[in-house]
Amino acid sequence: MEVTVSGGLTRGRPCAGRDTIDHVSTSVPETPRLTRSRSDRLVAGVAGGIAAHVRLSPTLVRIIFLLLLPLNGLGALLYAVFWAVLPAGEDGGRRRPSIRLVPFVLAGLALMAVSILINRDGGIGMTVGWLVALVAVGAGIIWHQADPDRRQRWTDASPNAPWLAALSDGDRRMYVLRFIGGGVLVAVGMIGVIVIYSPKTIGAISWGDLWIAVAFALVALAGVGLVAAPLLWRMLTALRAEREGRIREQERAELAAMVHDQVLHTLALIQRNAADQAAVTRLARGQERSLRTWLYQPTGSPTEHFAAALQAAAAEVEDTYGIVVEAVVVGDRKVDERVAAMVAAAREALVNAARHAQVKSVSLYAEAEPTMLSVFVRDRGTGFDPTAVEERRHGVRGSIIGRMARHGGQAEIRSTVGEGTEVRLSLSVTSLKEE
């Protein structure tokens, strides 16, 4: 059975392809949502959008707007307000942030114009108009930031952490800037209005009055903040909980996959081979090893790390020959050609022990010191007389002794009949230390 383990938990990547709710397609086809039309537009698509929504001719809607224009600029004001408030339609392309401010400015200007028309004499009325326009623009900007579609876009961009996406997104800076800008505009406007409507004339306004006005404005803003804070907090915690839940879910899924791919299959194989003691042991041992690796061991690629390479070789021999290899590796280092040769020699020693020693278990001990690698493979099996058999044992001569010699290492084989065998490999690695 071949078992591959990707050791260690790989934290889940966000599923970029997660389905998002498609708002557009769920809307009933007869009455399109009230949006600014992107296709049918002269200025910003407001008239086109409204026309589509109320099923009238766009031209008629435009005429209505024009007719309203002379009434103290009501047409323009309405148009600007719709522009600001209505979301862009289906293929609503992204516009540059500065252009998105245009409707607010227009709304402000329109309000100002209205106030001028109402108070032709200027003076306080005119100033109030300006200030109201300020408040309108600021509020509009803040309102625009609260646009749920925008949040949805962030959520789409990065389902795990929309707030993070919003932060990293270039959009986010604009968001904060405009939010603050809007807040300042609103505050200034309110302060102005309060000051002007204080019982004194403009010339007599003292700093004290101004401070009182500032205080009022701040209290008002704080009130808004108080109202909004719990909502924001709830949203943040909900998002965090959702994110943690998803991570947990992913870990659970990974564990389930592991159990499914390996444990269940092994158990099924064991059931089928219940009569074959050796097979059951081999399967159980292999499964134990792979689970153990998955649970406890740090990741390491067998092609890069000495320890991992040895463990992999030991595992392979275990699986092939149905023996237990007690592998102990102290220290680690990167694998290069010579180290790989040493691992191969160690593997050959394990294979020899598994094949000839007639034992159930073999010890493999390896130590990686700064200047020296040592590997010991020991069994307590039948043993042999090295002087008597070495000539015809090409496995030992070629694969172990010869291989080590070719790569500048040593191999020593100690064996006593009846007491087992130990293969000692050593490789000096001083010159390779920096590689």
Partner 1 sequence: MSEQRLRVFLVDDHGMFRAGVRAELGAHVDVVGEAATVAQAVSMIGSTVPDVVLLDVHMPDGGGRAVLEAVRRTQPQVRFLALSVSDAAEDVIGLIRAGARGYVTKTISPDDLVDAIRRVADGDAVFSPRLAGFVLDAFAARPDAPVADPELDQLTNREREVLRLLARGYAYKEIAKELFISIKTVETHVSNVLRKLQMSNRYELSRWAADRRLV
Footprint on this chain of partner 1 (rule: CB under 8 A): 288, 292, 295-296, 298, 326, 328-331, 363, 365, 367, 369, 376, 378, 380, 422
As measured in angstroms, the least distance from the Cβ of 335 to partner 1 is: 18
Cβ distance to partner 1 smaller for residue 363 or 399? 363
Tokens of 284: 């159980």
Cβ distance to partner 1 smaller for residue 38 or 424? 424
* Helix-then-strand count for the chain, H and E: 18, 5
Tokens of 430: 């001083």
Cβ proximity of 302 and 312 under 8 Å: yes
Residue type present at position 110: A
Cα separation, 75 vs 78, in Å, equals 5
As measured in angstroms, the least distance from the Cβ of 402 to partner 1 is: 23
DSSP secondary structure letter of residue 334: B
Question: Which sign, positive or negative, has the C-alpha torsion 230, 236, 239, 244?
Answer: negative
Pairing of the two strands 409-416 and 420-428: antiparallel
As measured in angstroms, the least distance from the Cβ of 378 to partner 1 is: 5
What is the distance of C-alpha 354 from the center of its chain?
47
Cα separation, 310 vs 319, in Å, equals 14
As measured in angstroms, the least distance from the Cβ of 19 to partner 1 is: 36
As measured in angstroms, the least distance from the Cβ of 300 to partner 1 is: 11
As measured in angstroms, the least distance from the Cβ of 408 to partner 1 is: 23
* Alpha-carbon separation of residue 329 from 16, 285, 340, 350 (angstroms): 41, 19, 15, 15
Cα separation, 368 vs 125, in Å, equals 88
Cβ distance to partner 1 smaller for residue 193 or 307? 307
As measured in angstroms, the least distance from the Cβ of 419 to partner 1 is: 9
CB atoms within 10 A of CB 425: 26
Cβ proximity of 219 and 187 under 8 Å: no
Cβ distance to partner 1 smaller for residue 292 or 433? 292
Cβ distance to partner 1 smaller for residue 140 or 302? 302
Cβ distance to partner 1 smaller for residue 163 or 365? 365
The per-residue DSSP string of 23-51 comes to HHHHS-SSS--S-B-SSS-SSSSHHHHHH
Cβ distance to partner 1 smaller for residue 348 or 379? 379
As measured in angstroms, the least distance from the Cβ of 183 to partner 1 is: 46
As measured in angstroms, the least distance from the Cβ of 142 to partner 1 is: 47
Name the β-bridge partners of 88: 36
Specify the DSSP element, H or E, that contains 186: helix 170-196
Cα separation, 318 vs 325, in Å, equals 6
